[in-house]
Every structure is written in C-alpha cells, then in structure tokens.
Structure 1
Amino acid sequence: MSYDTIRLVVEDRGIARLTLARPEKHNALSAVMIGELTDAAVRLSADAAVRAVVLDAEGKSFCAGGDLEWMREQFAADRQTRIAEATRLAMMLKALNELPKPMVARVHGNSFGGGVGLMSVCDAVIAAKGVKFGLTETRLGLIPATISPYVVARIGEGRARPLFMSGRLFEAQEAKTAGLVTAVVDAAQLDATIEAETLSYLAAAPAAAGRAKRLARSLGAPITDAIIAATIERLADTWETDEAREGVSAFFERREPSWRA
C-alpha cells in the first residue's frame, strides 16, 4: 500500500517501521495523515507477520501537532464538522492504542499536542536528549481534549493537570519522570536503544504479547467510546468560546493573544 504522508515498511524478521513523512511540515497531523495512520493501524493489526512496530518520523521534528491548514479549516467550520474531524483523530488514536502488537516510538525531535498523543498510545517511548514536548492547546484558548484519555492513561491525572493547564514546554528528562518517555539517550544511541527494545519483544510469543497488552489496558482506566465522545464534545464547546476565537486569531495573525501580559 502506497501512502502520501506516511511510510510503512515491514522487515523480514517481523519489525514494522511506521514513519511520519511530512518533514517539510514538521510531520503535523493533516486530515490525510490521520486517515493514513488509521489505515496503517488496521493493516498492522491484521498482519500476523508483524511482531513489533517502530513509530518514527522524518526531518527535524517528531510531530508538531495539528496541521496549520487543518486547524484553519476547524476555525472556519461549524460545530458538527469540528466534531466529525475530532472523531477521525480520536479513532486514529484508538486504533493505534489498541494495536495488538508492541509499539515503540523513536522520538528524535520535538513533539507537541497531537504528537504527544501519538507518543502516549505507544508501549515504549525512546527520546533523544534535548527534545522538547508540550501540550500547548491552552495557549490558543483550546484544550487537549481528543488526546487527553491517552495522555492521562500514560502519565496520570496528577502529572497531566499542570501540563494541560499551562501549555508550557518541557524537556525529555521531565517527560521521563512523568512517565511519558521510557528512556532518554544521546541522539547517537537512539537507534541502538530502539533495536534493543524491539528485540526484547521478539523473544515473546506473538499472541501472548498481544494478550498481555490487552490485559494491561483492561486494568487501567477504561477509554470507552462514551469517554471519547465526551472529550470531543468538550472540545467543540471550547471552540465556541471567545477565548478560542481570540487565541486562534492571534496565532494566525502572528500576535500575542489578549490574555498575555
């Protein structure tokens, strides 16, 4: 299967490499990429030859979050269109989260918003030193709604609260302390660490590994369709606020929003 915004390659030994391939856009999540990642998740789930998945990215960044043009379309859209687009993103995250294979993120560059959501649905995250992260939605008058179930499942409510509210950037070591990142290594050691992590899964029986993943998910806070729908409704409500209109307008107009001192 040929894709426009991602690449998918499966090695003979059963390791699949799923690559975000919009380097000129810092691998921002466009409508096309969301659809292609969903399709890839379905294909990987069904492919018995795949034993483990490495999620990586081309270019300088891992994932900058939502695509600028996609965000502009949401700004101009009505409530139902916004809900439909947020649902597509939510179903992509759900499909990757429920992938019955080990998935390891190779995070070589900065990751914000939806990129942190992608990291949160992985089973292990290996990040390079110096990489920065952020859940920056509140700086636009928005909230990190669609990704929130997965981020909270990953790092817990207590860690999530200040990061959700402030929208501040934080570095790899803080991400590791929070539980978002599994290991932080020098950039030169990134590939060797990824190799060691994926090899550990090849020692496990494939079906048992998938069952173990489902077991762990079942013991955590449930991420049901009702919870997903509720987060999308909260996002739709937030889009309709004066703060969102001011924050997104300021972003596109390259000025500070009214609440910044």
Structure 2
Amino acid sequence: MDADVAPLVRRDDEDRVAVLTLDSPANRNALSRRLLADLRDRLAEVAQDESVHAVLLRSSHRVFCAGADLKEAATVDMTEQARAIVDVQRRIAALPVPVVARLDGPVRAGGIGLVASADVVVCRDDVGFALTEVRLGLAAATISIPLRHRLTPRSAADWFLTGRVFTAAEARAQGLVTHVADEAGMDATVGAVLDDLRAGARQGLTAAKQILNADLLASFERDGEAMARMSGELFHSDLAQEQMAAALRR
C-alpha cells in the first residue's frame, strides 16, 4: 500500500486478541483526523468480531500518543475534532471485550483519554504523563469524562491545573494505571494479562465490562457534546492559537 494512504492504526490478531497499533511516528501518534478515523474504524471492526476476547492498544514506536495534532488545530474545526475524540473514547469503553493499553513511552494530553478509557493499563516504569492543555490556554475537556471516573478528585485537580509531568508510579497510585513493569518485564506482564483474559469466557467478559462501564458510558452520553463544544471554543480562541503557534516554533 502506498505510504500516503497506509493506515495509521494497524490491526493484527494473536490468539483471540486484536492488537491495534498506533503507527503515526511523524507526529508521535498525535490525534489527527486520520488517526482518529482509523482507530474508530478498527474499533468498529472488533466490536463485530465475536472471536475476539480482548484488544491490545499499543504504539509502533516509543511515544504512545502526543495528544492533539497542533498543526491541524490551526486549520480544522476543532469542535468536530473534539467530537471525534469523545466518540473514540466512548467506543473503547463500549467495546464488548476488555481493552488493554500498553504504554512503552510518554503520553500527553488527549492521549491520556485513550488510556483512561481502556480497562487495563500496563505501563513501563519510566513513562511520564502530562495534561499540558492548561499551559496552552486549553483545558482537558473531552478527556475529563473518562479521567474523572478513574482518578481521585485531588489527583485530578493537581494534574489538570498544573500541567506537570507525573510518573508511572503516581499514575498507578491514583488509578490511571493498573500494572507497572520495567522495560525487561513489559512483555511478560502484558502477556500475563492477555492470558488471563483469554481464559475468560467471552460471555462473562462482556457482561463484566457492561457492569463496570455503565456509569462511564452514561457520562459520555450526558457530557460528551458539552465537553466537545467547550474544547472547540478554547482551541479556536486567539490565546490558544497564539500559544499553539509558539509551541510549534519551539
């Protein structure tokens, strides 16, 4: 396939696990229109595949996701982009089977929404996270929906308001991450999680996920549009456009 039309999210199946790989190294897997559309399409495929017991969401390179695509943010309708982010997060949470996120490198801003929407998160011990939106005159609006279901109120206030980098250990302590492993132990830790999910009957897995995510899905329905509108307004503000342009120049 020509590189210009190659998918930015690949799917490979491994013994009843659909492995979805974010593969947009040029912009560190930023949430561009193409990447979001590809991820939506792969999730839709998996939702209809009754042979799948779990999904593994990972990156083809060290950075898991850099957040919003700031270059696109200057030229596209960011309210529609925010709606697409809400939709992808909702699809992850609503997928019939569990989603395991594997984090081998940094996660920023909107990428943390993908992590929070997953059911199980395995993270390398040297990974750093940051909700950098506030430093650009933005807010973690669309991703606040899953994050507020995972985090303690105090940790959410800390990370949303300061924009500081926080560690894998902090992320685990505050409910964002499930397991932390060193680089040498990542394959074994992820493998153990997937083997446990393979051992479950699909009917049991789907019923358990419905129970666990009922409140989160209700929040997407209730708050998704309002958060998308807020996000779009902030992205299109003069201040945010100036801050993003300055960030791109650095």
Please report how far the alpha carbon of residue 71 of structure 1 lies from its aligned counterpart in structure 2 after TM superposition.
Answer: 2.2
Q: How far, CA to CA, are the matches of 1:8 and 1:87 in structure 2? A: 24
Structure-1 residue corresponding to 2:12: 9
Structure-2 residue corresponding to 1:148: 144
Q: How far, CA to CA, are the matches of 1:224 and 1:16 in structure 2? A: 24
Q: How far, CA to CA, are the matches of 1:118 and 1:124 in structure 2? A: 11
1:153·1:221 contact (CA, 8 Å) conserved in 2?
A: no
Structure-2 residue corresponding to 1:123: 119
SS at match of 2:66: coil
Please report how far the alpha carbon of residue 68 of structure 1 lies from its aligned counterpart in structure 2 after TM superposition.
Answer: 3.3
1:24·1:59 contact (CA, 8 Å) conserved in 2?
A: no
From 38, 41, 48, the equivalent of 1:39 is 41
1:231-255 superposed Cα distances (whole Å, 9 cap, x missing partner)? 112223323545324322322343x
Higher relative contact order (CA 8 A, sep 6+): 2
Please report how far the alpha carbon of residue 102 of structure 1 lies from its aligned counterpart in structure 2 after TM superposition.
Answer: 1.1
SS at match of 2:65: coil
The AA in structure 1 aligned to 2:226 is A
Structure-1 residue corresponding to 2:204: 208
Q: How far, CA to CA, are the matches of 2:107 and 2:174 in structure 1? A: 15
Equivalent residues in 2 for 1:100-179 (5 A)? 100-179=96-175
Structure-2 residue corresponding to 1:68: 70
RMSD over aligned CA atoms reads 1.9
From 7, 10, 18, the equivalent of 2:20 is 18
1:190-249 superposed Cα distances (whole Å, 9 cap, x missing partner)? 011001001111121102211111111125583143310111122233235453243223
Q: How far, CA to CA, are the matches of 1:221 and 1:91 in structure 2? A: 11
1:74-109 superposed Cα distances (whole Å, 9 cap, x missing partner)? 4xxxxxx32222112211111112111111111000
Cα distance, 1:241–1:23 mapped onto 2, change above 3 Å? closer
> How many positions carry a matched residue from both structures?
247
Provide TM-score, normalisation by structure 1. Answer: 0.88
- 2:102 paired with 1:99: no
Q: How far, CA to CA, are the matches of 2:100 and 2:157 in structure 1? A: 25
SS at match of 2:105: coil
- 2:75 paired with 1:59: no
The AA in structure 1 aligned to 2:7 is D
Q: How far, CA to CA, are the matches of 2:34 and 2:222 in structure 1? A: 25
Q: How far, CA to CA, are the matches of 1:253 and 1:165 in structure 2? A: 24
Provide TM-score, normalisation by structure 2. Answer: 0.92
SS at match of 1:222: helix
Please report how far the alpha carbon of residue 117 of structure 1 lies from its aligned counterpart in structure 2 after TM superposition.
Answer: 0.8
Structure 1: tracts of 5 or more residues without a match: 75-80, 255-261
Structure-1 residue corresponding to 2:224: 228
